[in-house]
Chains A and B, each alone.
Chain A
Amino acid sequence: MAFSRRKKKYMEDDEVIVIDNVSKSYQTGIYALDNINIRIKKGEFVFIVGDSGSGKSTLIKLLLRELTPTEGGIYVMNYNLNKTPHRKIPKYRRNIGVVFQDFRLLKDRNVYENVAFAQRIVQVPGKQIRKNVPAILATVGLAGKYKAKPDRLSGGEQQRVAIARALVNRPSILLADEPTGNLDPRNSMEIMKLLEEINEAGTTIIMVTHNKEIVNAMQKRVITLRRGVVVSDVERGVYVDED
């Protein structure tokens, strides 16, 4: 639900995400997130790090409005996610690009169709799709492979297709859930370079990762979660091990 009249109360003009005293517990009674507060500005590149069970995945699901918080509020751009009805979720999600560790490409469709699919879903006219898809494929360096099926591509290339699909609808925010988790170091660094370029072009990026080398090399804001609690939030931070 839009909350422009109350926007001032929860968000500054330059902020795109506000997570305000959010807790999330499941039916088992265990808290996946416990009273966390995060504010993310437009154009930021933020790493969310933490071990398994730290609440990273729950946080991504909350931002995608796949889950709602047990307590607290989440505000993303003009949406109060606690009050966004089911029918308005598709429109909200069109502002968010998502990239997963396992790429999640449609294996029976080629590169072009995988990216065009995202445009068709938001009902972009065919003429515009024929213009946008080659352009975004060129941006991610796959212009020459538009006819290839995903299983003919390397892991890095598949992730590039997934990034192209996430970006083709020009989202303001890109959520990347362990995008280098299935890639070798060389491909990982190439994907990170691509994400950095996308970020420099103005897209806010929130990336969940386990990869210490990448976090340390990128020198971006690092939010560390441990057992559902934010234990550190550092500008130009480094990966902090639990022990």
Chain B
Amino acid sequence: MRISTFFYTLWQGIKNIFRNKLFSLASIATISACLFLFGMFYSILANFQNIVKTAEEGVCVVVFFDEGITQKRIDEIQEIIRRRAEVSSINYVSADAAWEQFKSEYLGDYSDGFTENPLANDSNIEIYLNDVSMQSALVTYLESLPGVREVKRSELTALTLSNANKLIGYISLGIIAILLAVSVFLISNTVTIGISVRKEEISIMKYIGATDFFVRAPFVIEGILIGLVGAAIPLGIIYFVYNRALNFITGQFSVLSSLLNFLSIEEVFRILVPVSLGIGVGIGFFGSFTTVRKHLRV
């Protein structure tokens, strides 16, 4: 393709948007509305998932050792646990550290009467997980390790969080699928109407000897540009709305801000921007590509 043809095609694509202002606006509005809903939903979902993840990270499994276990064996067990994929981090608490912690938390000055460490056999390893749904499997494994006396866990918390995570996953998949289906349907209709207006232009081009590529390219560029603009508008709106909404929530319900960890707009946008632009461009591309194809058999 000649460079001049490339720029001509690009320019025609841009001009097409202005030639059919009404249809362009309708397409942009449709994509924007769908992607705005998608963006809002994603923002809520991402925050919810972050809250669940933060809660998950606080759930730990504690491993206690057999009486008289050697420090060497404790180190070996630590190493084995650290290498497990589902393990995020571990924290070894020696018997002395456990006693010091207990004293400071519960006894204070009343600990003077103790001459020996009553928690001498309670050195332990706190294990934090990447994925709380793997807790049961890890516990079963840990219980089988020689030298391990007891494994303590919070089964109910893990189960609740795991189920919440699954539920969020299913809901998000369902809603995203519905939103995408609605967008594709609406865009396809809008593009079809837009193209039927220019059916004659396409037929003239074909009679003169234009290749399918040459006919299709301006429409596809138009579709991509409409998709990009349609995606950029809701992103802009979300950018301004998000921080205000967050400030409102944390201001009105200050107890929430201490309990829940909300994502910053930058963190939300890290995924939302490429995904929204991708969807916008994708819908614009496929919508125009497939619709023009129907009119190429002239």
- A contact set with B: CB distance below 8 Å: 64, 66, 87, 90-94, 96, 98, 104, 106, 108, 117-118, 120-123, 125-126, 165, 169
B265 at the interface (CB under 8 A from A): no
Neighbouring A residues of B5 by C-beta, 8 Å: 120, 123
Neighbouring B residues of A126 by C-beta, 8 Å: 4
Neighbouring A residues of B212 by C-beta, 8 Å: 87, 90
Instruction: Give the interface centre of B19, B209, B212 by most chain A CB atoms within 10 Å.
Output: B209
Residue of B8, B203, B209 near A90 (CB, 8 A) is B209
Decide if B4 touches A64 in the complex (CB within 8 Å).
Answer: no
Which 6 A-B pairs have CB atoms at the shortest separation, nearest pair first?
A: A94-B209, A93-B209, A121-B210, A90-B211, A90-B209, A118-B208
B205 at the interface (CB under 8 A from A): yes
Decide if A104 touches B200 in the complex (CB within 8 Å).
Answer: yes
Decide if A91 touches B298 in the complex (CB within 8 Å).
Answer: no
Neighbouring B residues of A123 by C-beta, 8 Å: 1-2, 5, 214
Decide if B208 touches A104 in the complex (CB within 8 Å).
Answer: no
Chain B interface secondary structure, helix, strand, loop or mixed?
helix
Decide if B214 touches A121 in the complex (CB within 8 Å).
Answer: yes
Residue of B201, B210, B214, B298 near A66 (CB, 8 A) is B298
CA distance A98 to B19 in the complex (A): 26
Give 5 pairs: A residue, B residue, CB < 8 Å, sorted on A.
A90-B206, A94-B208, A104-B204, A121-B208, A123-B214
- B contact set with A: CB distance below 8 Å: 1-2, 4-5, 8, 19, 200-201, 203-212, 214, 298
Decide if A125 touches B2 in the complex (CB within 8 Å).
Answer: yes
Given contacts A108-B19, A121-B214, contact A91 B209 (CB under 8 A): yes
Decide if A169 touches B208 in the complex (CB within 8 Å).
Answer: yes
Decide if B201 touches A106 in the complex (CB within 8 Å).
Answer: yes
A170 to chain B, nearest CB (A): 12
Decide if A165 touches B208 in the complex (CB within 8 Å).
Answer: yes
A109 to chain B, nearest CB (A): 9
Given contacts A104-B200, A108-B19, A121-B214, contact A93 B2 (CB under 8 A): no
CA distance A124 to B241 in the complex (A): 50
CA distance A93 to B214 in the complex (A): 14
Q: Contacts A117-B205, A123-B2, A165-B208 known; list 10 others, CB within 8 Å.
A: A64-B207, A87-B212, A90-B214, A93-B207, A98-B207, A117-B208, A118-B208, A121-B210, A123-B5, A125-B4
Decide if A121 touches B4 in the complex (CB within 8 Å).
Answer: no
Q: Which residue of A lies closest to B204 (CB)?
A: A104
Neighbouring B residues of A125 by C-beta, 8 Å: 2, 4
A10 to chain B, nearest CB (A): 23
CA distance A98 to B247 in the complex (A): 66
Neighbouring B residues of A96 by C-beta, 8 Å: 209
Neighbouring A residues of B298 by C-beta, 8 Å: 66
Neighbouring B residues of A93 by C-beta, 8 Å: 206-209
CA distance A165 to B212 in the complex (A): 20
CA distance A94 to B4 in the complex (A): 20
A183 to chain B, nearest CB (A): 20
Q: Which residue of A lies closest to B198 (CB)?
A: A106
Neighbouring A residues of B207 by C-beta, 8 Å: 64, 93, 98
Decide if B4 touches A90 in the complex (CB within 8 Å).
Answer: no
CA distance A94 to B206 in the complex (A): 10
CA distance A91 to B206 in the complex (A): 10
Instruction: Give the interface centre of B4, B204, B214 by most chain A CB atoms within 10 Å.
Output: B204
Neighbouring B residues of A90 by C-beta, 8 Å: 206, 209-212, 214
Decide if B8 touches A122 in the complex (CB within 8 Å).
Answer: no
CA distance A87 to B210 in the complex (A): 11
A87 to chain B, nearest CB (A): 8
CA distance A96 to B206 in the complex (A): 12
CA distance A179 to B204 in the complex (A): 15
Decide if B19 touches A122 in the complex (CB within 8 Å).
Answer: no
Decide if A169 touches B209 in the complex (CB within 8 Å).
Answer: yes
Neighbouring B residues of A92 by C-beta, 8 Å: 209
Decide if A122 touches B209 in the complex (CB within 8 Å).
Answer: yes
CA distance A93 to B208 in the complex (A): 6
Given contacts A66-B298, A108-B19, A126-B4, contact A121 B200 (CB under 8 A): no
Neighbouring B residues of A106 by C-beta, 8 Å: 201, 204
Decide if A120 touches B19 in the complex (CB within 8 Å).
Answer: no
Neighbouring B residues of A117 by C-beta, 8 Å: 205, 208
CA distance A150 to B265 in the complex (A): 52
